[in-house]
Amino acid sequence: MKKIKVLNVDITPLTKEQLNGEIRGSLKGKRILISKVNSEFLLRSLKSEEFATTLEKFDLNVADGIGVLWAAKYLSLPFLSKKSRITNFKLLITIEAVCQMVYSGASLVFYPKYCRYPIPEAFRGVDMMHLMLDFAEKEKLSVYLFGAPKETLEKTVENIRNDFKNILIAGSRNGYDFKDEEIVKAINDSGAEIIFVALGSPQQEYWIRDNISKLNSIKIAVGEGGSFNFIAGTYKRAPRWMRTLAIEWLWRLFANKNTTTTEKSRISRVWKAVPVFIYQVVRFKLKNK
Ligand code: UDP
């Protein structure tokens, strides 16, 4: 499937149906690595070559969040002023880039369909995990959950068992104080076929990169971020109206404070995920015109 380059990441443009088909199809061949790319990932790909090359090893980099759809759309818009003969070309092209940013951004609220090309759909992290759990249940593939604090993980397992009656959970392990060899052995002993790794990014992508070749029975590995917290109920989802207006990031600013990691505060994360992100995407476009 053709990929769309957004900053330094190749995104696979998929609808939910295509995702299911793609996974089912690939399953017959090699094992599949899936990452869910949000605006923070895209920014990190600009700064860290290691992160960008790690994502190249993933088979499916799925768009997680409307910001990625917007960036793909915005970067795909051609500069009309390129064809003009006006001498102050640099100024003109900058004005055009800003205008494109404003109207493509506004379309997220007033006409969201506009940003559904070249990437047709965004998968919010936890929605995608539900999709994978549904897939696992139907295909009778056993799953392993790795990450999050112990209590969160236990509640996640309990809620998954309640929601997916026939799911095969091969095992689980919290994401703190672990040794790679010990986890790899536990996963291999469990015979799990799908692993969800929720260690936060980029740790989870690096963990998958470094350990996947040792996981004998694993057919699909997914980097999960905070999905376990949403399933456990320790993170709350934004209300539907906020999601519809594409302002879920505002919710992230005030809710779901992560007390379990030493990461920078949510405010700094949202600052990076919204204004810094927009600035960097515009800058990237102007640099690569
Ligand atoms: N986490 C973990 N081990 C660590 C660091 C983080 O298991 O060493 C877990 C953390 O408890 C949380 C998840 O990784 O459940 C990442 O959540 P976060 O909210 O940072 O993810 P995102 O906002 O990227 O979805």
Residue pLDDT, tens place only, 48-93: 999 999 999 999 999 998 899 999 999 999 988 777 666 677 888 9
Q: Cα dihedral angle (177, 183, 185, 187), rounded to 10 degrees?
A: 150
Give the pTM.
Answer: 0.91
What value does the CA radius of gyration of the chain take, rounded to a whole number of Å? 20
Residue-wise pLDDT for 162-195, tens only, equals 999 999 999 999 999 999 999 999 999 999 999 9
Give me the amino acid identity at 146: F
Query: Is 125's C-beta closer than 6 angstroms to any atom of ligand 1?
Result: yes
- Kindly indicate the confidence band of residue 261, based on its pLDDT and cuts at 50, 70 and 90: very low
State the helix-helix crossing angle for 125-139 and 16-27, rounded to 10 degrees: 50
CB neighbourhood size of 111 (10 A): 11
The percent of the chain in helix, strand and coil, each rounded to the nearest 5, is: 55, 10, 30
User: 225 vs 129, 139, 240, CA distance in Å?
Assistant: 10, 24, 21
Query: Is 128's C-beta closer than 6 angstroms to any atom of ligand 1?
Result: no
Query: Is 228's C-beta closer than 6 angstroms to any atom of ligand 1?
Result: yes
Q: How far apart are alpha carbons 17 and 27 in whole angstroms?
A: 16
226-252: burial string, b at 16+ Cβ within 10 Å, e else? bbbbbbbebbeebeeeeeebbbbbebb
Residue whose CA is at the smallest distance from ligand 1 atom 5: 199
CB neighbourhood size of 152 (10 A): 22
- The answer to whether 219 and 141 are in contact (CB under 8 A) is yes
* Domain extents in the chain: 4-63+122-232, 68-121+236-287
Residue 240 CB contacts under 8 Å (≥ 6 apart), including other chains: none
Residue-wise pLDDT for 31-50, tens only, equals 999 999 999 999 999 999 99
- The answer to whether 34 and 221 are in contact (CB under 8 A) is yes
Query: Is 261's C-beta closer than 6 angstroms to any atom of ligand 1?
Result: yes
What is 4-63+122-232's CATH number, 3.40.50.10700, 3.40.50.880, 3.40.50.300, 3.90.1150.10?
A: 3.40.50.10700
